[in-house]
Amino acid sequence: MKKILIILLAILCIPISGFAMSLSTLENNPQRYIKISEDYNSAVYTDAGSVKSIRYSPPYYTLSTNTYYVVYKLNMVVVYSEIYNYDYNYSTESTMKRIVSDMYDNGETPDEETVCSRTEAAQRENSGIERNGTCIGVWKLNGQPMRKSLHSSSTNSTVTCHTVGFDIAEAVFRTYYKQYF
């Protein structure tokens, strides 16, 4: 009877320990947790194993993922469940094609420098990506759960080109579709 109780207790504890997240777990599993950025104060990882397609209706795509924000100063790892909406009409490839076509229509000869600078300007104006995120967990760097209550409201935002948010969205798209957005 004791053995059955011990086995049952061990089985019940597996899900609890499975949700803990530590900095060492993120760092020691680079195939699963893709490092997006890092600086003196923080690091950002996306969970390649959590990427799922919610909508596939070209040119519109929606992908979900879990993203881990490491804040060294505060000794914590915060995980967000994130949903990214993509409009492929604004992807780098589509934007470049549109710019080259417009240049020909206007009698201009496209050159690499002009096409690249106009593409960058167009993507800064509209990246074609929106994000919705909800905080779903907070741990200390060692994986110990934080005892503070979570304010789990959702945040919606437009993703700006050349930001960490854009880098996350790009990595998520590349993980799922094996190509750049």
What is the tens place of the pLDDT at every residue in 133-145?
999 999 999 999 9
CA 105, CA 146: separation in Å to the nearest integer?
A: 59
* 178: DSSP letter: S
Which tokens sit at 134?
């909800």
User: Burial code of 132-169, b = ≥16 C-beta within 10 A, e = fewer?
Assistant: bbebebbbbbeeeeeeeeeeeeeeeeebebeebbbbbb
The answer to whether residue 151 scores a pLDDT higher than 90 is no
Give SS3 for 59.
coil
| CA nearest to 126, candidates 157, 166, 76, 90 | 90
Q: Kindly report the CA angle at 32 between 59 and 7, in degrees rounded to 5?
A: 125
- 147 confidence band (pLDDT: 50, 70, 90): low
Which tokens sit at 16?
């609890």
CA 44, CA 116: separation in Å to the nearest integer?
A: 28
Question: What domains, with CATH codes, occur in the chain?
Answer: 21-91+128-177 (2.40.128)
Q: Name the phi and psi angles at 12, rounded to 5.
A: -65, -30
Which tokens sit at 123?
């993507």
What was the pLDDT predicted at 9?
33
pLDDT tens digits for 1-34? Answer: 433 333 333 333 333 334 579 999 999 999 999 9
Contacting residues for 137 by C-beta, under 8 A, at least 6 apart: 19, 21, 78, 79, 145, 150
pLDDT tens digits for 82-131? Answer: 999 999 999 999 999 999 999 999 999 999 999 999 999 999 999 999 99
Model pTM score: 0.82
How confident is the prediction for the chain on average, in pLDDT? 88
What was the pLDDT predicted at 161?
93
What was the pLDDT predicted at 20?
75
CA distances 117 to 1, 25, 92, 93, 121, Å, are 72, 40, 12, 14, 6
- 154 confidence band (pLDDT: 50, 70, 90): confident
Name which of 30-44, 62-76, 149-163 the model is least confident about. 149-163
CA 106, CA 103: separation in Å to the nearest integer?
A: 5
